[in-house]
Amino acid sequence: MFIRCASCPLRRRPAFRQKSDEEVRFIETLKTEHLRLPEGADIILPEQDDAELFTVFSGWVFRYKELSDGRRQILNFALPGDLIGLQASLFEKALHGAVALTDVELCVIPRRKLWQLYEKMPEVAYDVTWLGAQTVALVDENLLSAGRRNAAERIAALVASLYKRMETLGAVRDNSMPFPLTQQHIADALGLSLVHTNKTLAKLKSSGLFSIADGRLTLDNPRAVGRLAQHFEKDIAPRPII
Amino acid sequence: MFIRCASCPLRRRPAFRQKSDEEVRFIETLKTEHLRLPEGADIILPEQDDAELFTVFSGWVFRYKELSDGRRQILNFALPGDLIGLQASLFEKALHGAVALTDVELCVIPRRKLWQLYEKMPEVAYDVTWLGAQTVALVDENLLSAGRRNAAERIAALVASLYKRMETLGAVRDNSMPFPLTQQHIADALGLSLVHTNKTLAKLKSSGLFSIADGRLTLDNPRAVGRLAQHFEKDIAPRPII
DNA sequence: CGATGACTTGAATCCCGTCAACGTCCGTGG
DNA sequence: CCACGGACGTTGACGGGATTCAAGTCATCG
Task: Measure Cα distances from A39 to A15, A99, A102, A172 in Å.
Answer: 25, 8, 4, 22
| Residue B239: closest CA among B158, B129, B150 | B129
B96 with B123, same domain: the answer is: yes
* Residue A13, domain CATH: 2.60.120.10
Residues 197-216/A with CB within 7 Å of nucleic chain D are: 198-199, 201-202
> Is the predicted pLDDT of residue B1 greater than 90, yes or no?
no
Per-residue pLDDT, averaged over B24-39, amounts to 96
B90 with B106, same domain: the answer is: yes
Can you tell me which residue has its alpha carbon closest to the C1' of nucleotide D10?
A198
Neighbours of A16 (CB within 10 A): 18
How confident is the model over B192-201, as pLDDT tens digits? 999 999 999 9
Q: Which of B90, B133, B146 sits opposite A147 (nearest CB)?
A: B146
Residue A106 lies in a domain: yes
Out of B125, B143, B161, pick the residue that ends a domain.
B143
Residue A235 lies in a domain: no
The number of folded domains in chain A is 2
The whole-angstrom distance between B124's CA and the closest CA on chain A is 10
A196 sits within 7 Å of strand C by its CB: yes
* Residue B221, domain CATH: 1.10.10.10
* Nucleotide closest in space to A39 (CA vs C1'): D7
Neighbours of B18 (CB within 10 A): 12
B78 with B180, same domain: the answer is: no
Per-residue pLDDT, averaged over B41-47, amounts to 97
Strand D: which nucleotides have any atom within 7 A of a protein Cβ? 7-13, 17-22
- Give A-chain residues touching B119 at CB under 8 angstroms: 122
Q: For chain A, which residues score pLDDT lower than 50?
A: none
> Is the predicted pLDDT of residue B233 greater than 80, yes or no?
no
What's the pLDDT at B217? Answer: 98
Interface of B with A (CB under 8 A): 63, 65, 67-68, 71-73, 75, 86-87, 90-92, 95-96, 115, 118-119, 122-123, 125-126, 128-130, 132-133, 135-137, 139-144, 146-149, 188, 190-191, 230, 237
* Pairing mode, strands A210-213 and A216-219: antiparallel
B131 with B34, same domain: the answer is: yes
A229 sits within 7 Å of strand D by its CB: no
What's the pLDDT at B203? Answer: 97
Residue A122 lies in a domain: yes
Per-residue pLDDT, averaged over B175-184, amounts to 98
B56 with B174, same domain: the answer is: no
Could you list the beta-strand ranges (E) of chain B.
33-37, 42-44, 53-58, 61-66, 72-78, 83-84, 97-100, 104-109, 176-178, 210-213, 216-219
B169 with B97, same domain: the answer is: no
Task: Please tell me the total number of residues recorded for chain B in this structure.
Answer: 242
A106 with A174, same domain: the answer is: no
> Is the predicted pLDDT of residue B179 greater than 80, yes or no?
yes
Question: Which residues in A119-149 are b (16+ Cβ under 10 Å) and which e?
Answer: eebbbbbbbbbbbbbbbbbbbbbbbbbbbbb
B39 with B121, same domain: the answer is: yes
Could you list the beta-strand ranges (E) of A31-93.
33-37, 42-44, 53-58, 61-66, 72-78, 83-84
Out of B94, B118, B143, pick the residue that ends a domain.
B143
Spatial distance between the Cα atoms of A66 and A83, rounded to a whole number of angstroms: 21
Put simply, the answer to whether B143 touches A144 (Cβ < 8 Å) is no
Q: Range of B197's domain?
A: 151-229
Tell me the pLDDT of chain B averaged across its residues. 96
B50 with B82, same domain: the answer is: yes
How confident is the model over A6-63, as pLDDT tens digits? 999 999 999 999 999 999 999 999 999 999 999 999 999 999 999 999 999 999 999 9
